[in-house]
Amino acid sequence: MFFSAWIGWEGKGLVTDLETTVITKEGSIKLNEEWGDLFIYTDEATASTYGTENTLTAIAEIKPGMEIHPPHQHTAEEFMYVLEGNGTWSLNGVESKAKSGDVMYAKPWDMHGISNTGDETLKFFVIKWDNKGVDIPVLQED
């Protein structure tokens, strides 16, 4: 799978800053997955901005009854905005209804995810990044 929960950590130092630009849907990278489609506008393995590292921007279209991956955690901060459809958020083990117009924010290392529990495609926009001015947390071993 192209998506990596750890790419922000692994990809640190391998990226270049974006210039001011417009990225069209036609210019995005389209991935067809079993769960649906992913349109990547900026690839976290290669894109940063003036203030961010490892910056992912994408639109995901999840088929009914599917999820991209189970709830996960990573070094990056992340926003997800539901454009269309319904589903279920998972935030630190607590589930709640996800619907069009909702925004989810997850800080580094918080468990989070979304699944499509509706009858139609669930579409969301995601932006995920590591901050250049904040040290990446060190994974604590038990």
Q: Is 9 helix (H, G, I), strand (E, B) or coil?
A: helix
Distance CA 27, CA 11 (A): 23
Strand partners for 67: 115
State residue 137's pLDDT score. 65
Torsion of CA 19, 56, 80, 32, to 10 degrees: 120
Domain boundaries along the sequence of the chain = 7-131
- The predicted-structure confidence for 72-89, as pLDDT tens digits, reads as follows 999 899 999 999 999 999
- The predicted-structure confidence for 91-121, as pLDDT tens digits, reads as follows 999 999 999 999 999 999 999 999 999 999 9
- Return the CATH architecture of domain 7-131: Sandwich (2.60)
